[in-house]
Amino acid sequence: MIQAKSNTADQAWVRRMNRAIILEVFRTHHTLSRARLAIMTGLNPSTVSNIIGELIQENLIRETDLVHSSTGRPGRLLEINPDGGCALGIEINVDYIEFLITDFAANVLWRQKQASSPEVGQEVIMIEISHLAEKASAFIKSHQSRLLGVGVGVPGLVDVSSGLLKVAPNLKWFNVPVREVLSNYFDCPIYVENEANAAALGEYYFGATRNLQDFIYLSTGFGLGCGYVIGGKLFRGMSGYAGEAGHMIMDINGEQCGCGNRGCWETFVGPRAIEQNVQRSLESGAKSSLQDIANGDLKKITFDDVLEAAKNGDQISLDALKKVAYYLGIGIANLVNLLDVEVIVLGGVLSKACSLIINDIDQVVSSNMLDPEKDHLRIMSSAHGADACVMGAIALVLDDFIREPAFS
């Protein structure tokens, strides 16, 4: 009897794995026939047919066009069914909160974005999050869709097993039970992840590095986050905190970082560093078209202002971008020397400046790599730009559901 139970358990496990394999193939190849699916997965055609029948019944897969074959009866193509359920992605950033809902095929159904600031305090921000959660919940009910899960990206150290945000220096948050808070609004799996890790997974699922096995994602904004995908999986390290490359020390006597240390990499790169570079140049007497925007108050000059001026040939703006490109290049060279990846993705706000700084970054990286003739390294802009994290939060939900699809 014990052996019989073991066999039954083994069979159930194999069936779950076969379902996951089939759904994963649909994620990467979209539309397929049953015959093609059997070839690609290596599964027996009858096994494929049985599992497809289950997935159609559960609204996860649907039949589409009739395809004719020269060797047999015509059959119908299959694809992911967008109506199979929905996923909620949440990004809690330093200066905004965003909620986004997609269907099972990752098509956007609803989104809300609200400006925020650490200066208003954690309690006020949590109230803002609760209001957005109520709106998202109301939309899901009106849409009559099954919520598969909630993914959350936050800038800080996250205990993914408990959903606890342990520390987020730029938000000034400590030991915030994010999963517990959101469980008051959503009765489903809730995944909390570092924002750069989430964004890296989003690029792997939907973006510039779709299905690429090894790459580094750099998330530039108020801080600098880093997500590693190694062997097609997020690398989190022993305690789940790998990727805090923004806090590599570049200058022990440098500017104080939000983490308390001095000279962290993130203090040299990103929009804030660009704005500060421009302000220092103007304070020293340099001339720029940005002075008209400042009107005597240099703090009025934003990253977007600098970017627009640089596109129009403003030298002060171009120099500010070049300086940030230099420090980005130094840090990237260190990461490449350490991890030997083939692609670096620049995401977040700074991806908007990619076309202006990519050549400078390439030159600095090449000059500081141990193997300067390494011609396979590519540096590219994120496919989702500032949306990379919230799309990554969607990927957290879909990735887990596809790997462990629930039986109906």
pLDDT in tens, 72-86: 566 789 999 999 999
Is 100 part of any domain?
yes
CATH code of 264's domain: 3.30.420.40
Instruction: Identify the CA nearest to 188 among candidates 94, 115, 88, 105.
Output: 88
Asked if 154 and 182 sit in the same domain, the reply is: yes
Residue 408 belongs to some domain of the structure: no
Among the candidates 80, 98, 128, a domain finishes at: 80
| Residues 217, 147 within the same domain | no
pLDDT of residue 72: 59
Task: Evaluate whether residue 315 is within a structural domain.
Answer: yes
Q: What is the pLDDT of residue 408?
A: 39
The domain tally of the chain equals: 3
- Rounded to two decimals, what is the model's pTM? 0.85
Residues of the chain below pLDDT 70 = 1-9, 66-74, 372-375, 405-408
Per-residue pLDDT, 237: 85
Distance CA 193, CA 20 (A): 22
**Residues 100, 55 within the same domain:** no
Residues 254 and 378 in one domain: yes
145 plus 220 within the same structural domain: no
Please answer whether residues 218 and 389 qualify as being in contact, where contact means their C-beta atoms are separated by less than 8 angstroms: no
On whether both 214 and 278 belong to a single domain, the answer is yes
pLDDT of 7: 57
* Among candidate residues 63, 80, 97, the one where a domain is terminated: 80
Range of the domain at 256: 210-382
The reported pLDDT for the residue numbered 2 is 34
Residue ending a domain, choose from 35, 54, 80 = 80
Judgement on whether residues 321 and 364 belong to the same structural domain of the protein = yes
Please tell me the predicted confidence (pLDDT) of residue 197.
94
Per-residue pLDDT tens over the stretch 18-47:
999 999 898 888 789 899 999 999 999 999
Does residue 221 sit in the same domain as residue 352?
yes
Interatomic CA distance for residues 26 and 38, integer angstroms? 12
Q: What is the pLDDT of residue 190?
A: 98
Q: 101-114: b or e for each residue (b if 16 or more CB lie within 10 Å)?
A: bbbbebeebbeebe
Q: Are 99 and 133 in contact (CB under 8 A)?
A: yes
